[in-house]
Structure 1
Amino acid sequence: MIEPDFLHTTRTAYDSVAVQYAELFANALDDYPLDRAMLSAFADLVRADGAGTVADVGCGPGHVTALLHRLGLTAFGVDLSAEMIAIARAAHPELRFDVGSMTALALEDGELGGVLARYSIIHTPPERLPEVFAEFHRVLVPGGHLLLAFPAHDKPSELAEAFDHKVALAYRWSPDPVAELLRETGLLQVARMVREPEENERAFQQAHLLVRKA
């Protein structure tokens, strides 16, 4: 199967900056208490439903995967970048990390209790987003939860807005159209948080959508 260009471009870009990225974001969540609260709520819901395995899709160097583990989840990471996965495995040898793509996860139908996609959809071309959401839906058990995080814009009539990302072409997303795409896929909104940027972030709102497989 021929790999889509955006996957090749994203993988190559993150392979080239993996070490710097890991150093830069190692303690990033320390500065974002609201983000940590959403991750904690996600973990609580997955545990309440029977603590199924959780995939951290686009896990990068694995620091958030490790947080999910500390929150009591059986979590593993998936990332396009082999360099990122090598760093994650070295930093967290007790956890599982796989090279893979969110467009075609090497998982059985209904295998997961939860999926985390924290800023990992930002390089997805808008026309491919329904495909990604369908894959998340496929691997979740009925009642399983998905937590998405992404930079947001406030134009409800426009799904995506491209911006100049330092690594590869990226998109900000409007929460309402994203929530509608999720609903059409069978993933129903449970909660939404849109926060203002912190001082050390670009001047974008940051959105979290927590949804549940019907």
Structure 2
Amino acid sequence: MIERPSYLTDTANAYDAVAALYASLFQNALDDQPLDRAALEVFAEVVRTGGGGPVAELGCGPGYVTAYLRKLGLDVFGLDLSPVMIEIAREAYPELRFEVGSMDALDLADEELRGIVSWYSVIHVPPQELPAYIREFRRVLAPGGHLLLGFFESEDEPVTPFDHKVTTAYRWPIDELAALAGAAGFAEVGRVLREPHEGERFRQGRLLMRRK
């Protein structure tokens, strides 16, 4: 049996411990974020115009982004490390599919998906491990499939760890993250940077990538 890296266990345990509070705080998180909704809407449009097909939100937490993507007409399911988060998501959105799993070892066939959303989920991956995650995303995406990354941007600083309220996270320079995905076989479609809103500490980044 392959031993799970300690950071995965730590992340799952940390989110299990705060899952109920997290879900209550973020259930309406998209309501006052038009740029965030726009990024998700563009992702949904390119998946639909590309013929549709299955989409995964990887690191779905309590499921509110998965549910929003479903409202946008996508055939979407959610996956998360935290069993408690998945329980909450299933209770909140019983019509949707949610599974416990890890983004670095997806129980999916090669080229099975048409789209992946990673909305503030790769932020907890140690920087040296992230290329393997991006390669795994590419493995399960069909050619021409799209990947949307949401993350904290480091504003011209190097990759920077910070004291995320749940567990250690990392801020990425948007150019460096785009280059990392490019090296794994993705082409950039577009990007969004927005300044922090009230209650936020850091600039927010979104990258839309297409699998070559």
Does TM, normalized by the shorter one, top 0.5? yes
Kindly report which structure 2 residues correspond to 1:7-86, keeping only aligned pairs within 5 A, or say none: 7-86=8-87
- The letter for the 2-side match of 1:169 is T
1:200: how far off? 2.7
Structure 2 match to 1:201: 200
Calculate the TM-score normalised by the size of structure 2.
Answer: 0.98
Find the aligned partners of 1:8 and 1:70 in 2 and give their Cα distance: 32
1:124-143 aligned at under 5 Å gives the runs: 124-143=125-144
What is the Cα-based RMSD across aligned positions, in Å? Answer: 0.7
Aligned-residue offset at 1:14: 0.2
Superposed CA offset, 1:99-142 (max 9, x none): 00000011000000000000001110000000000010000000
**CA offsets, 1:51-73, max 9 Å, x none?**
11110000000011000000000
Gaps of 5+ in 2: none
Q: Give the SS at the match of 2:48.
A: helix
Alignment coverage as a number of residue pairs: 211
Q: Specify the alignment match of 1:104 in structure 2.
A: 105
| Counterpart residue type for residue 130 of structure 1 | P
User: Structure 2 CA distance, aligned partners of 1:35 and 1:147?
Assistant: 11
2:180 equivalent to 1:185: no
Q: What is residue 172 of structure 2 aligned with on the other side?
A: 173
Q: Distance in 2 between matches of 1:149 and 1:121?
A: 8
Name the amino acid aligned to 1:54.
V
TM-superposed deviation, 1:149? 0.5
Q: Deviations over 1:148-177 (max 9, x none)?
A: 000101226x2x101111110111111111
Question: Runs of at least 4 residues of structure 1 off by over 2 A?
Answer: none
Q: Distance in 1 between matches of 2:45 and 2:75?
A: 13
Letter aligned with residue 139 of structure 1: V
Equivalent position SS for 1:18: helix
CA distance in 2, matches of 1:33, 1:141: 29
* Gaps in structure 1 of 5+ consecutive residues: none
Q: Distance in 1 between matches of 2:32 and 2:66?
A: 17
Which whole-Å CA distance do the structure 2 matches of 1:31 and 1:197 have between them? 13
1: CA distance, partners of 2:178 / 2:141: 17
3-state DSSP of counterpart to 1:43 = helix
Query: The residue matched to 1:116 in structure 2 has which SS?
Result: strand
**How many percent of aligned residue pairs carry the same amino acid?**
55
Give distance in 2, aligned partners of 1:188 and 1:2. Answer: 33
